[in-house]
């Protein structure tokens, strides 16, 4: 027995050492946002906890980058993060302190060895990017923590690698591990592993499974930084499972499946009639079985599942229920694909290039899409949406159809099912931007704190991480509402003269005073649009934020 405990300790030490040596880039993941989880719970029939004052726990929080945006915008919330790596926790604590967040506590510890009861109860528990990358006893501890610490109406989020998609990816990981894992430093590990990939690429038969797996890996690798490749392909543990296996283990801990964190992936109709018809027939009302079969259809590699206490399962309804829309606030960007909206009965197409499209014929539906586009990226409640449609049609002398509410609820169905709408139980609607521009203090401070990193970043109210250019990482901290356009231009010019930031034109660095001043002025003049695009400021509702 002592031997087993010692072996476990060695494993935990190894994982801790991995993350201490190569800390994970710690930032916000929008699909884990408590406001998003609450809205999904509501959508599928459950009472959801109050978000603004929620108690939130993140297991494996690294440096707290996914908790900071929530804690900063919800001062009444109580937020706790736990992570094994002291290096990451120390880094996170320094940030939390610099941001002055008194409601966020970061604790170093092994979730499998902690006194869970001492942590208290939580309305939302998040575990992103951890479950598949830890030994089995830690996986058990995560599920046990969900069971013990989740409030009766709480929602837990867990993400993990899944089969069948990872079957082929494992070939690549195994090859990389065999050549790289035993090497000295993490740089050496990665370098030897990459050598293996290069070799295999040269010799793999063109139409082989290996060639396909390598091509998939390459597509990910070009867009990934070393820390990600290291932890995904060379991490001591990476144990994918089938969706049903995860649910079986969750069931042993008294937990039931609620939904996917991207609900649009749950609707069979999104995969075409050839997929939907046989699967819906085969799976009947079993959303779980349908989800598992869909994983084969799309060769899924990664899942984000929401779990609740099993006694709530009977209340879950997957059929979209319009009576639940009244409490929701919606944001959607579904631009017209074919010119101006015509408030007649002609058929018009809406949707972003490359994304899902929809066709609208009824004037009320078109007016609703215009209202959502005009408000985007901020929200309209269902009632505000109905009112906006009424006003617009009234102004054009168009009489409301008797089924106008149903038509608009039908539109909301489509936007939800196709993943074109974001929704919350509370409005996401900041005040209109003031002049001079002012950003919230945590948003500014975060840009300042991270500008020493390779990737400076901050976050917005949608719980999205925003990568910042070197210039913006210096500019955003200045937006405290005291500096007008001219003052901002002078401030950036001073930074450029000190060589702290650089401006280029056509790839050439600018140094002459006049050309530098022009470039800085251009950068400042484009600032309002840039901040609106980043969802950092709300500009006039009627100017559609260009994306």
Ligand X SMILES: C[S@@+](CC[C@H](N)C(=O)[O-])C[C@H]1O[C@@H](n2cnc3c(N)ncnc32)[C@H](O)[C@@H]1O
* Contacting residues toward ligand X, per CB under 6 A: 12, 15, 19, 24, 26, 60-62, 82-85, 88, 110-112, 128-130, 133-134, 138, 231
| In the complex, least distance from residue 542 CB atom to ligand X, rounded to whole angstroms | 38
Question: Considering beta carbons, is residue 128 or 169 the nearer one to ligand X?
Answer: 128
SS3 at position 421: strand
| In the complex, least distance from residue 245 CB atom to ligand X, rounded to whole angstroms | 20
SS3 at position 397: coil
Distance CA 110, CA 16 (A): 9
| In the complex, least distance from residue 14 CB atom to ligand X, rounded to whole angstroms | 10
HEC profile for 464-515? CEEECCHHHHHHHHHCECCCCHHHHHHHHHHHHHCCCCCCEECCEECCCHHH
The position carrying tokens 């989740």 is 150
Question: Considering beta carbons, is residue 73 or 85 the nearer one to ligand X?
Answer: 85
| In the complex, least distance from residue 386 CB atom to ligand X, rounded to whole angstroms | 39
Question: Considering beta carbons, is residue 88 or 418 the nearer one to ligand X?
Answer: 88
Question: Considering beta carbons, is residue 37 or 111 the nearer one to ligand X?
Answer: 111
Question: Considering beta carbons, is residue 109 or 251 the nearer one to ligand X?
Answer: 109
Question: Considering beta carbons, is residue 160 or 503 the nearer one to ligand X?
Answer: 160
Question: Considering beta carbons, is residue 112 or 150 the nearer one to ligand X?
Answer: 112
| In the complex, least distance from residue 130 CB atom to ligand X, rounded to whole angstroms | 4
| In the complex, least distance from residue 133 CB atom to ligand X, rounded to whole angstroms | 5
| In the complex, least distance from residue 136 CB atom to ligand X, rounded to whole angstroms | 11
| In the complex, least distance from residue 27 CB atom to ligand X, rounded to whole angstroms | 7
Residue 215 burial (C-beta neighbours within 10 Å; 0-12, 13-18, 19+)? exposed
Question: Considering beta carbons, is residue 236 or 270 the nearer one to ligand X?
Answer: 236
Q: Distance from CA of residue 502 to its chain's centroid?
A: 31
Pick from 33, 377, 449: nearest CA to 458 = 449
116-120 contacts: CB < 8 A, separation 24 or more?
116/144, 116/145, 116/148, 116/149, 117/148, 119/57, 119/80, 119/82, 119/149, 120/55, 120/80, 120/149
Question: Considering beta carbons, is residue 60 or 180 the nearer one to ligand X?
Answer: 60
| In the complex, least distance from residue 253 CB atom to ligand X, rounded to whole angstroms | 17
| In the complex, least distance from residue 361 CB atom to ligand X, rounded to whole angstroms | 43
Q: Which two tokens stand for residue 341?
A: 């909206």
Pick from 98, 69, 90: nearest CA to 19 = 90
The angle at the Cα of 414, spanning 403 to 386, to the nearest 5 degrees, equals 40
Pick from 476, 461, 446, 475: nearest CA to 535 = 461
| In the complex, least distance from residue 6 CB atom to ligand X, rounded to whole angstroms | 16
Q: Distance from CA of residue 133 to its chain's centroid?
A: 19
| In the complex, least distance from residue 472 CB atom to ligand X, rounded to whole angstroms | 23
Distance CA 268, CA 342 (A): 32
| In the complex, least distance from residue 82 CB atom to ligand X, rounded to whole angstroms | 5
Question: Considering beta carbons, is residue 28 or 449 the nearer one to ligand X?
Answer: 28
Residue 311 neighbours by CB distance under 10 Å: 10
Q: Distance from CA of residue 521 to its chain's centroid?
A: 33
On whether the CB atoms of residues 37 and 66 are closer than 8 A, the answer is no
On whether the CB atoms of residues 455 and 374 are closer than 8 A, the answer is no
Question: Considering beta carbons, is residue 82 or 537 the nearer one to ligand X?
Answer: 82
Distance CA 494, CA 488 (A): 10
Question: Considering beta carbons, is residue 241 or 369 the nearer one to ligand X?
Answer: 241
SS3 at position 201: helix
Q: Which two tokens stand for residue 326?
A: 């009244």
Question: Considering beta carbons, is residue 325 or 459 the nearer one to ligand X?
Answer: 459
CA dihedral 452, 455, 460, 462 (to 10 degrees): -150
């Amino acid at each position: 027995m002592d031997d087993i405990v010692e072996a476990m300790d060695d494993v935990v030490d190894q994982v801790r050492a991995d993350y201490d040596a190569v800390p994970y880039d710690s930032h916000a993941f929008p699909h884990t946002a408590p406001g998003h989880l609450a809205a999904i719970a509501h959508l599928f029939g459950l009472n959801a906890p109050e978000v603004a004052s929620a108690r939130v726990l993140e297991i494996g929080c690294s440096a707290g980058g996914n908790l900071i945006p929530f804690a900063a915008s919800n001062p009444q919330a109580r937020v706790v993060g736990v992570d094994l790596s002291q290096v990451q926790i120390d880094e996170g604590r320094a940030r939390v302190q610099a941001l002055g967040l008194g409601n966020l506590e970061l604790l170093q510890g092994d979730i499998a060895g902690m006194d869970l009861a001492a942590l208290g109860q939580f309305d939302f528990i998040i575990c992103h990017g951890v479950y598949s990358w830890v030994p089995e006893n830690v996986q058990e501890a995560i599920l046990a923590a969900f069971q013990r610490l989740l409030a009766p109406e709480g929602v837990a989020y867990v993400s993990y690698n899944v089969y069948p998609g990872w079957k082929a990816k494992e070939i690549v990981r195994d090859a990389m591990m065999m050549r790289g894992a035993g090497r000295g430093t993490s740089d050496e590990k990665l370098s030897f592993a990459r050598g293996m990939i290069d070799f295999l690429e040269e010799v793999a038969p063109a139409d082989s499974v290996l060639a396909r797996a390598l091509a998939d890996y390459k597509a990910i690798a070009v867009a990934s930084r070393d820390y990600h490749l290291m932890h995904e392909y060379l991490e001591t543990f990476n144990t994918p499972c089938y969706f049903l296996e995860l649910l079986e283990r969750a069931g042993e801990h008294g937990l039931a499946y609620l939904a996917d964190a991207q609900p649009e992936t749950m609707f069979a109709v999104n995969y075409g009639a050839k997929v939907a018809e046989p699967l819906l027939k085969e799976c009947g009302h079993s959303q779980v079985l349908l989800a598992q079969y869909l994983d084969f259809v799309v060769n899924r590699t990664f899942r984000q599942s929401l779990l609740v206490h099993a006694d709530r399962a009977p209340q879950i309804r997957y059929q979209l229920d319009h009576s639940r829309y009244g409490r929701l606030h919606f944001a959607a960007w579904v631009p017209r694909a074919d010119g101006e909206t015509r408030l007649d009965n002609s058929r018009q197409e809406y949707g972003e290039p490359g994304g899902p499209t929809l066709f609208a014929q009824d004037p009320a539906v078109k007016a609703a899409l215009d209202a959502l586009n005009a408000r985007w990226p901020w929200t309209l409640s269902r009632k505000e949406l109905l009112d906006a449609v009424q006003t617009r049609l009234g102004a054009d002398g168009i009489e409301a159809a008797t089924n106008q509410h149903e038509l608009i609820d039908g539109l909301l169905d489509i936007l939800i099912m196709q993943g074109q709408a974001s929704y919350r139980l509370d409005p996401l609607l900041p005040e209109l931007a003031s002049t001079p521009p002012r950003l919230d203090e945590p948003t500014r401070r975060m840009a300042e704190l991270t500008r020493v990193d390779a990737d400076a970043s901050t976050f917005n109210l949608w719980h999205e991480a925003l990568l910042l250019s070197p210039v913006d990482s210096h500019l955003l901290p200045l937006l405290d509402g005291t500096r007008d356009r001219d003052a901002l231009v002078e401030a950036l010019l001073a930074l450029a003269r000190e060589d702290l930031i650089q401006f280029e034109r056509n790839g050439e660095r600018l140094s002459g005073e006049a050309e530098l001043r022009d470039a800085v002025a251009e950068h400042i003049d484009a600032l309002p649009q840039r901040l609106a695009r980043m969802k950092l400021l709300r500009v006039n509702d009627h100017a559609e934020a260009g994306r």
